[in-house]
Amino acid sequence: MRYCVRKLLGSASFGKFVEAHDLQDKEQVAIKVMKTNDHHTKSSLKEIELLKFINKAKGSRLIVKLHSYFCIGDKICSVFELLSNTLYDYLIEEYPAGFPLNATRNCSKQICNVFQFLSDLQIIHGDLKLDNLLVTHPEASTIKFADFGSAFRSGEKIITASTAQINTFVEVLGMPPSSLPDRSTRSTKFLEKTPGSDTYVLKKPCNSKTHKAAGMRKIQDVLDIDLEGSMYEKGEDDENFLYEYVDFIDFILLMLNYDPFERITRSEALNHKFFNSQEE
């Protein structure tokens, strides 16, 4: 026996994570034990294949490291380096009132760097969320991308948004220009043309949930930012913070541009003033 299980780290729909001691390499590791069904088996094998490739690439330091894998019966077990909490749990425990702007900037820049790195490898993560970003150490400010079970190589498939996501976009950004849904075969899932007009409206949701009118919700409300007072309440009384929050909102809106040809690119994002404001 090579691994001695110490404790359960967590469980989810895919299976569970346990902390174990590697008796051969004399170190603590995290083992992902997958449930046994076709979907989870394929997802696990895909993750192993991609991480073996990614971990060998130069610049993979912000990607979780896969040590090895083995099978117990028909369960696939992947052995990873042991890291700390998910970014979601870290936020809840350390910053229940919200992430400070400087910490947001630090994490955002790391995420943009990983996007650029994965893009160079022609890989799309496919399931980026706070639960899939791991803090390397409770006292550290470095995060690593994890859970590549939904990842894929560019061109393999197309990710479609959910109705809730599209409704939120429209609440904040307004309706997209008609030229964009006109040239998309998938837009009819969410939008429909007004009779006798070239304009589009959102399809009514099947559930009873209501949404604000197009363009009526401010991005700072979604981000829970009060430009007139919140930063001062948190002790950030330097007037430069006001401009940095404005830069942050500009950065977010540029990433949310409906038109992919006008949307900010990965390299442009890394050079945005939100990241460079502290260096000026």
Q: What CA–CA distance (Å, rounded) separates 262 from 256?
A: 10
Catalogue all structural domains in the chain, each as residue range(s) with its CATH number. 3-81 (3.30.200.20), 160-166+174-215 (no CATH), 218-280 (no CATH)
Q: What CA–CA distance (Å, rounded) separates 19 from 7?
A: 5
Split at pLDDT 50, 70, 90, the class of 232 is: very low
Q: Give yes or no: 120 in active site.
A: no
Q: By three-state DSSP, how is residue 73 classified?
A: coil
pLDDT tens-place string over residues 148-179: 999 999 877 666 677 877 888 888 888 888 88
pLDDT tens-place string over residues 107-129: 999 999 999 999 999 999 989 99
* Catalytic member of 127, 221, 226, 259: 127
**How many Cβ atoms sit within 10 Å of the Cβ of residue 124?**
19
Split at pLDDT 50, 70, 90, the class of 219 is: confident
Measure the CA dihedral 151/157/158/160, to 10°.
-70
User: Residue 239 pLDDT more than 80?
Assistant: no
**Amino acid at position 32, single letter:** K
